[in-house]
Amino acid sequence: MESLRRPVVYQGITYPEYEIDFYTSQVHSIRNNDKVLKATSRSFSSYLSATLSLNSERLYVGVHSLMAETFHDLLPKSPLVSYYGLLVGRDKHILKTPTEFTFICNQVCPDHIDGDPSNNHHSNLMIVTQLENNLKRGPKREGFSPYKGVTSDRGKFKARIDTKNTIDQNGKAFSLSKNLKIEEEAALRYNKILEDSLFTIWGKDLGPKMYDFAYKNVIETHV
């Protein structure tokens, strides 16, 4: 089996007493005869973590976080992470967008591409900003509409974008369309508002990349 192991990196510090494998995402304890540490999840979360003794403190650390920090150079990156050269962590970054907006990035984190937080294979991890993580999410499962950003009031539909969480994190709370009679029309209107907003904030080069990265409503046609 192919193997690529490195000392784990956690919160910017390298710990040679542990290694993690790029291909298996297994964490090995070097000081404990190369023992593979068991990755477990807690009752309230599906994320897998390993217990590490770091600086005389036992910590329950997410395997996806260890993979992202240790193999930052090998994992795919979202448009903003690539453009600004951001590293994994909770450090606040104040960025100037190409269109002269000021963007505050509060977190850079690993994202599970298939939506399964227990799948830490390298092919399922991408390094993203929290903003982009929100952008790529689909409609809420408990929502009344199968389309993202569609709301209803008295039989009329609106496209709504929470710009504070999905566009720039600094803007106004919501961008709304006019009332529409057809739900699918509102779903497509969401796509258009999203595209226009991203192009306005992130410019002609980053804007299209952000829009390609984002979740967009698709209208199913029945023949």
Domains of the chain, earliest start first = 5-70 (no CATH), 135-213 (3.30.730.10)
Give the pLDDT confidence score for residue 173 in this predicted structure.
46
What is the DSSP pairing of strand 49-54 with strand 35-36? unpaired
pTM of the model: 0.85
Closest CA to 88 of 68, 105, 114, 58: 68
pLDDT of 47 > 80? The answer is: yes
Query: What are the pLDDT digits (tens) for 66-104?
Result: 999 999 999 999 999 999 999 998 788 888 889 888 888
CB distance 50 to 35 below 8 Å: no
Give the pLDDT confidence score for residue 207 in this predicted structure.
94
To the nearest whole percent, how much of the chain has pLDDT over 90?
53
pLDDT of 65 > 90? The answer is: yes
H or E stretch covering 188: helix 183-213
Higher pLDDT, 222 or 213: 213
Highest mean predicted confidence (pLDDT) among 1-5, 138-142, 167-171: 1-5
CB distance 198 to 132 below 8 Å: no
**Cα angle 202-208-209, degrees, rounded to a multiple of 5:** 90
Give the pLDDT confidence score for residue 175 in this predicted structure.
57
Structure tokens at 93: 């970054």
Dist CA 64 CA 10 (whole Å): 11
Give the pLDDT confidence score for residue 201 in this predicted structure.
86
* Rounded mean pLDDT, 192-209: 91
Q: Which residues pair with 50 in a beta bridge?
A: 61
* Rounded mean pLDDT, 2-8: 91
Dist CA 20 CA 28 (whole Å): 6
